[in-house]
Amino acid sequence: MEVILLIAILACFLICVSSFRTRRKRLSPAPYPPTPPGHFLLGNLRDIQHKTLRYHYDELAKTYGEIFHISALGQHIIVLNTEEAAYELFTRRSAIYSDRPQFAMVDLMGWDINFGFMKYGERWRAHRRLFQQVMNPQTVSKFRHVQAEKIQEYLRRLLDDPENFSEHVERLLGSLVMKIVYNHEMGEHGKDAQFDATLVATQNLSSAILPGTWLVNSFPILGNLPGWLPGCQFQAFAKRTREIVDSIIEDPYEKAKNTISSDPCLVMILENSIAAGGHKNIKESYPKEICAVAFTVTSETSSTVIEAFYVAMRQNPDIQDKAYREIMSVVGSERLPGLSDRAALPYVEALYREVFRWMPPVPFSLPHSSTADDIYKGYFIPKGSIILGNGWTMMNNEEKYTKPRQFMPERFLTSEGRYNGGDIDSIIGFGFGRRICAGRHFADTTIWLLFACILATLRIAKPEDGVLDELDKLDSIDDAFVHALVAHSIAFRCSIKPRSLDSVEVIRQISE
């Protein structure tokens, strides 16, 4: 009986939404952007829930141009397919395109403390200001020795256990973030309760905003229903996640705050700044919340970029060897590359940028929301629309990138071999406008240094046993990555061996 009632309520709602949408369309001051055909009642719901959104939206972009419109369940979605359109709306018109749509499941899980998903307003500004204080380039530079130390530990693990390179990446990123945020050292072996809890909470956050996964995101009113009702099992999942989120907000912060140490960490930087009167009228919970959020903005997308690097190097040994030769000519074999070498390694820089372009970690920007009606190139964008930056299509623009599905670092070099790919803010994977990733400076230096150190000491190749793995069986290497909110590779194997005895010595000497 309850199920029938729920279906009836939803059906009535859809009819009302369809009627309102039709009336609103007639009254709009300009036409909507081009719209693919949709169901008379459900609109473009199938387009939103398509299994391979990156390919589907890329085809829609080829059909409808730099901007198209889809709608479902009364929600307008505007998809931007060029960097120019994204820059115009997200940056130049950021005053009305910096909001976020509501994700009811995020709120139910307790992840509304993540300023990446907060509505645009004073609470968001306060969190963003605090986070920028501890993740700006100057503060991040204080942790270079920690980045180098953790990367060197990772290299040692690769020497000892190359088959589990992917698991080592997860541990590298976790131990690095835990150290700089809380001055927490993960044990050398076994599990770490603090890291494991944070990882689960972060993975659940990613699932909370996947299109079509949770009905409550489309109908927030369902969040008020008891969990025992049919269709409301999400309540139990949200409750479990909220308990984990609450624990990772309070426990590690208080432990770091009460631990005396000469090593800097974000907790102590914030506490000292607050004690000095640097932040007035902020709630006591804000510093704890942004420290908990630090892991989410640096871990999952970073691991995807590193996965893409391994795939690219496995498939392109000549490119890998060229980067190695550049490092040897500048750095030599007696030490590992450092961030101070970065400007002198243009090919490595171009390779780094090509990884982001070739396999964007986030195929679509996190959704923005418009706070006012607007007109763009003669098209009407209504208030409350969800705006998506189609990063996959932007990074595969054949007018800008010759043979876009080929891995070609040279596209970011001049004919003289100088790097010309732009600065960190031009990396589309970090987002746009006022919503650009606040942790990008830390992620950028960490990932670049990791790539350089791997290229300097190790050679990545296909398995030498001749046994084909899932990667070898694909019709297209693009299918190695499954794209949801964040892309992730399928399981694959690599042969990872030291370049020379000098490589082994420099890794062992520094790490142990």
Tens of pLDDT, residues 207-262: 888 777 888 988 899 899 888 888 888 999 999 999 999 999 999 999 999 887 77
C-beta separation of 100 from 366 below 8 A = yes
Question: Any bridge partners for residue 460, and if so which?
Answer: 496
User: Tell me, what amino acid is at 478?
Assistant: D
What's the CA gap between 140 and 131, in Å, rounded?
A: 12
- Please, which pLDDT band fits residue 27 given cuts at 50, 70 and 90? low
What's the CA gap between 397 and 391, in Å, rounded?
A: 10
pLDDT at residue 23 greater than cutoff 50:
no
SS3 421: coil
C-beta separation of 432 from 91 below 8 A = yes
What's the CA gap between 350 and 414, in Å, rounded?
A: 10
User: Tell me, what amino acid is at 461?
Assistant: A
Instruction: Give Cα separations from 187 to 66, 100, 170, 283, 303 (angstroms).
Output: 50, 38, 14, 33, 20
C-beta separation of 368 from 117 below 8 A = no
User: Tell me, what amino acid is at 368?
Assistant: H
Across 165-174, average pLDDT:
91
Tokens 């009632």 appear where? 5
pLDDT at residue 400 greater than cutoff 90:
yes
- List the domain boundaries for the chain: 123-511
Mean pLDDT value across the chain: 88
Terminal CA-to-CA distance of the chain, rounded, Å? 66
Query: Which tokens in the block code for residue 277?
Result: 């009167």
What's the CA gap between 324 and 69, in Å, rounded?
A: 46
CATH classification code of 123-511: 1.10.630.10
What's the CA gap between 65 and 53, in Å, rounded?
A: 16
Question: Any bridge partners for residue 387, and if so which?
Answer: 78, 368
Selection from 469, 296, 389 nearest residue 94 by Cα: 389
Selection from 148, 164, 178 nearest residue 506 by Cα: 148
What's the CA gap between 160 and 150, in Å, rounded?
A: 15
What's the CA gap between 332 and 323, in Å, rounded?
A: 13
pLDDT tens, position by position, 290-328: 999 987 776 778 999 999 999 999 999 999 999 999 999
pLDDT of residue 449: 98
pLDDT at residue 121 greater than cutoff 70:
yes
Q: What DSSP letter does each residue of 199-228 carry, written as one string? A: HHHHHHHHHHTSTTT-HHHH-GGGGGS-TT
pLDDT tens, position by position, 334-361: 999 999 999 999 999 999 999 999 999 9
DSSP state, residue 309:
H
Could you give the angle at which helices 300-315 and 193-208 cross, rounded to 10 degrees? 90
What's the CA gap between 491 and 470, in Å, rounded?
A: 7
SS3 44: coil
Strands 379-381 and 374-376: antiparallel
pLDDT of residue 505: 94
Share of the chain above pLDDT 90, in %: 62
Chain centre to alpha carbon of residue 376 = 28
> Using CA atoms in the order 439, 444, 450, 453, what is the torsion angle rounded to 10 degrees?
-150
Query: Which tokens in the block code for residue 190?
Result: 């076994």
| Annotation: binding site | 437
What's the CA gap between 498 and 458, in Å, rounded?
A: 4
Query: Which tokens in the block code for residue 307?
Result: 């996965």
Query: Which tokens in the block code for residue 258?
Result: 């009460």
* Residues whose CB falls within 8 Å of the CB of residue 297, separated by 6 or more in sequence, listed in order: 116, 437, 438, 439, 443
* Residues whose CB falls within 8 Å of the CB of residue 228, separated by 6 or more in sequence, listed in order: none
Across 407-431, average pLDDT:
94
C-beta separation of 298 from 177 below 8 A = yes
> Using CA atoms in the order 242, 248, 250, 253, what is the torsion angle rounded to 10 degrees?
-160
pTM higher than 0.85: yes
pLDDT at residue 1 greater than cutoff 50:
no
Across 147-165, average pLDDT:
94
What's the CA gap between 328 and 314, in Å, rounded?
A: 20
Share of the chain above pLDDT 70, in %: 92
What's the CA gap between 211 and 304, in Å, rounded?
A: 20
pLDDT at residue 191 greater than cutoff 80:
no
What's the CA gap between 173 and 302, in Å, rounded?
A: 8
| Annotation: binding site for heme | 437
DSSP state, residue 411:
G
Query: Which tokens in the block code for residue 6?
Result: 């729920």
Number of Cβ within a 10 Å radius of residue 502: 14
Chain centre to alpha carbon of residue 118 = 16
SS3 69: strand
What's the CA gap between 356 and 482, in Å, rounded?
A: 16
